[in-house]
Structure 1
Amino acid sequence: MNEYLDVTLASLRDGYVQVSAFVAVTVLLFGLIQYRTGGALVAKIEENERLQPVFGALMGLTPGCGGAIVMMPLYIRGTVSFGTVVATLIATAGDAAFVILVLAPEAALYAYGIAFVTAVVFGYLVDTVGLGVSRVDAAVAKLDPATTDGGTAVVGGGNRLGPNPGHDYDGANPAHSHEHGPDRENAILTPVSHAAHALWWVAATMGLVLGVTYLVRGAPDVAMEYGVSFDGLFTIFGLLGTTLSFYLYFVGRHYIGEGSVGRARESFESAYETFQHAAMETSFVTVWVIGAYLLYEYFLIVTGADIAAAAQTAGVLAPIAGAAVGLIPGCGPQIVLSGVYANGGIPFSALTANAISQDGDALFPLIAIDKKAAIVASIYTTIPAIVVGVALHFIWGPVLGMPSFGFGVLG
């Protein structure tokens, strides 16, 4: 039991300082840009049709799913091409990017660089050859005209159809909204939740300082202790940040609003709303990160498995498996896989294949509005993932002489 307790406390602490604090800064910066520009970034993307796949890939490349989520309603409105959607999803590394950026920054640079190039090339290919809406939606319309999303008719980025007025993106999932309603008003929990939100940002700020210091020191082992020393503060603010994240995600969002988690808006009405969105989004990521950490650590304790040895024997099946995991919507499985890579459990080819294949949370709004387009987009992101992953398996180590396992992992 002591082993389980040690692993649990270490995961709760490390997950927040090593990952969540960095997530908070990234999500907040993106939100502040949207707030300060009033959605001008989105307007620029709509205006530059020829560069849309590049813009889509850049939006997808931003850590987390915020940039990619912004692109989905643009396609639904018929203002960006299907190739842009595919490029966005290929480049999207989701919340798993934070894990790799923090724990294996060199690997992240190469993996996401390869994903970006793949995204741009394949995005333009989809638009140029006409593999997007010009064929898919036409076939869907013959089967069931009512399900056609009114998206872009793609060949060279032009010839747009108007948005379908029957689709209500903002109200696509009202059952999960806590932005309004009587449950927001509570004499005790509403002010407590706002106070927890403010304290959460204190923990996030301290966590960022401690996290940067941790990396500068070369990611040393941190003792589980409490006090004013580096190790003590690392433990205190790590556990405090995780505790507040769990509270905000499971309780607080009912009383102060969830900040449109998973549905990034084009702009925000106030600075407080921007900070709230970043806190809620990061709390969601924290829950997944901690869950992934614990799942991996408990699995090793119970089974005594040597994942690295198993991956070594998988050979070319490793990148194919990485691409297959990317088919699962959401960021949870991808975070788990990234954690396994950070522990030297899977090769670089599998990490890159997963980075290309996964769509993160960005696929959910597309699924809600146009399931067929979401399925086609998922297939289109998996094909280049397998091709690139298998190619890396035979080139990365044998030809380039790069280490396949543990490449870029700290410590």
Structure 2
Amino acid sequence: MIPLQLGLPEVLEILIGSWREGFVQVSGFVGATILLFSLVQYRFDGRLTTWLQENERAQPLTGALLGLTPGCGGAIIAMPLYIRGTVSFGTVVAALAATAGDSAFIILALAPEAALYAYGMAFVAAVLFGYAIDIFGLGVGYVDNAVERIGRPMTDGGFATTSVAEGGPSIADYDGPDGHDHDHDHDHGDDLPSYLPHSRLLERVSHAIHVLWWIVLAGALVAGVLYLAKGAQEPAWAVAATYDGLFTITGLVGTTLSFYLYFVGRHYIGEGETGRVRDSFESLYNTFQHAAMETAMVTVWVIAGYLLYEYGLLLTGVEIQALAAAAGIFAPIAGAVLGLIPGCAAHIVFAQLYALEEAIPFSALVANAISQDGDALFPLMAIDLKAAIIATIYTTIPGVIVGVLVYYFWPYAQFGFGVLG
């Protein structure tokens, strides 16, 4: 029987558990990747972004290479580049199709041979599909035109549906009721949200929390690596100088500090506008600051995704294992459809079911690796929701195709392929 309501103990257990796990399982790796790319930008003073903009033919390949890096950080980097019009929509789809999110760490640690084949196939599919989208003009504008032809009366006189990257309105292009361009107001705290006062004290506090956040993130990264080394087993709740204590403390504190930085701190210390790639950075501190704000934004979305996923399972009674292990050809299809769920929560569970319980066939793992977008979709959703929806639907198509082909023609499409004994 499907429960109609959640009890308070269940609600709190899921909330606190997600609050702890999200930062260690996801944000630690995301923050490290974004910082690495930001340091490269700082070192080369924006020349890499300029090169990418001037070499359009290399964009989908570069997007797939970014997505292929374990975790979500590489693919996350491609989203702001599209939002500002630096790269094509095919590049975005290639990055999303190639990424396996943070579930990649689990498969790499527990089933490295399966990871080699699955992510290799995902990379090839991402490059081919990304170039196909650009060559045949299947971007957001194409979908707009198709929708307009189908339902012109619904769109005539309505709001513009052009993507941000194709010249449509964006948050950064908004002019307020006073006619003033608010593009960079938040970058230096000149225009605070109504719920925040002008305060030098909060500015100093925000800088201090930013520094503390990096210390906590370093601990979370260590805890995350140990988590994988121990077979991705959930640690005990503890407040002590142990692995369990490190996981618990850095998880709870890191998420809390991330929420502060996203909703309060970023408006005081010069990174009020998130989801935007920077060509260069004024200083090393500014480089760390930008990476922290981007990761804090992802953390907020990650926790929201964790909660929606966990509460949804509890309310509906759906079992991911039963869905993913559907008989026959429906297994890879189910894996690809599961990829429509944004974030890493469902896919981390999916990876654990494959590597720990051997409850999912290899064909379903491949389909999910291509279809899922990890946390990279969140920055795009925050700025251009329509482009995000189209992109995640697009990545599901090669996921289904390759997954079905693997099911029929790949001799290792059985359960447990590549899992370490």
What TM-score range do you get, normalising by the shorter chain? Answer: 0.7 to 0.9
Aligned to 1:154: none
2:30 to 23, 38, 50: 23
TM-score by length of structure 1 reads: 0.73
Select the residue among 218, 223, 226 that pairs with 1:213: 226
Aligned match of 2:5: none
Answering whether residue 62 of structure 2 is matched by residue 55 of structure 1, we say yes
Q: In the alignment, is the contact (CA less than 8 A) between 1:18 and 1:102 conserved in 2?
A: no
> 1:88 and 1:20, CA in 2 relative to 1: closer, same or farther beyond 3 A?
closer
Deviation of 1:220 after TM superposition, in Å, equals: 4.8
- The 8 Å contact of residues 10 and 224 in structure 1, kept in 2 or not, is answered as no
What amino acid maps onto 2:252 in structure 1? L
Q: Deviations over 1:271-315 (max 9, x none)?
A: 222212222222223233334444444455566654312332365
The equivalent position to 1:267 in structure 2, one of 262, 280, 283, is 280
> What is the 5 A alignment of 1:7-406?
7-62=14-69, 63-64=72-73, 65-73=75-83, 76=85, 83-93=90-100, 97-98=101-102, 100-105=103-108, 106=112, 109-126=116-133, 130-132=136-138, 136=142, 171-172=172-173, 178-179=186-187, 180-183=189-192, 185-258=198-271, 260-299=273-312, 305-313=318-326, 315-324=328-337, 326=339, 333-344=342-353, 348-357=362-371, 360-361=377-378, 363-364=380-381, 367=384, 380-395=394-409, 399-403=411-415
Letter in 2 for 1:112: Y
Q: Work out the CA distance in 1 between the residues paired with 2:311 and 2:162.
A: 44
What is the number of residues matched between the two proteins?
378
Inter-partner Cα distance in structure 2 for 1:379 and 1:304: 25
Task: Specify whether residues 250 and 346 from structure 1 end up closer, same or farther in structure 2 by C-alpha distance, changes over 3 A only.
Answer: farther
- 1:283 match: secondary structure: helix
Q: How far apart are residue 19 of structure 1 and its match?
A: 2.4
**Matched residues in 1 for 2:91 and 2:309: separation?**
35
TM-score by length of 2: 0.72
User: Can you list the C-alpha shifts for 1:51-79, whole angstroms capped at 9, x where unaligned?
Assistant: 333223223434334331244157x36xx
Check conservation: 1:349, 1:404, Cα contact below 8 A: no
Q: Which piece of structure 1 moves more, 48-57 or 18-27?
A: 48-57
Partner of 1:155: none
More moved, 226-235 vs 299-308: 299-308
SS in 1 for 2:21: helix
Deviates more, 1:267-276 or 1:173-182: 173-182
List runs of 5+ in structure 2 lacking aligned partners: 1-7, 175-181, 354-358
Q: 1:45 to 1:322 in 2, by over 3 A?
A: same
CA distance in structure 1 between the aligned counterparts of 2:310 and 2:145, rounded to whole angstroms: 47
Local SS of the residue matching 2:326: helix
Q: Note the alpha carbon deviations across 1:362-394, whole angstroms, 9 max, x for none.
A: 6458848xx6x8777666544323211222343
Paired with 1:400 and 1:347, the residues of 2 have a C-alpha distance of: 9
How far apart are residue 214 of structure 1 and its match? 3.4
1:14 to partner: Cα distance: 2.7
More divergent stretch after superposition (33-42 vs 373-382): 373-382
Distance 1:354 1:343 in 2: 13
Query: Pairwise CA RMSD of aligned residues?
Result: 4.2
Contact 1:28 1:278 in 2 (8 A): yes
* Mapped partners of 1:112, 1:137: distance in 2: 29
Q: Point out where structure 1 has 5 or more consecutive residues left out of the alignment.
A: 152-162
CA positional deviation for 1:201: 0.8
Identity %: 51
* Cα separation, 2, equivalents of 1:86 and 1:38: 27
Equivalent-residue separation in structure 1 for 2:127 and 2:240 (angstroms): 49
- Could you say if the C-alpha distance between residues 167 and 47 of structure 1 is closer, same or farther in structure 2, counting changes exceeding 3 Å? same
Equivalent pair of 1:82/1:126 in contact (CA under 8 Å): yes
Query: What do the CA deviations read for 1:230-275 (whole angstroms, capped 9, x no partner)?
Result: 3223322222112212222233233234464222223323222221
CA gap of 1:333–1:69, structure 2 versus 1, over 3 A, is closer
Q: Distance in 2 between matches of 1:111 and 1:387?
A: 14
* CA deviation map 1:333-356 (0-9, x unaligned): 342331331342865544543443
Q: Counterparts of 1:366 and 1:293 in 2: how far apart (Å)?
A: 21
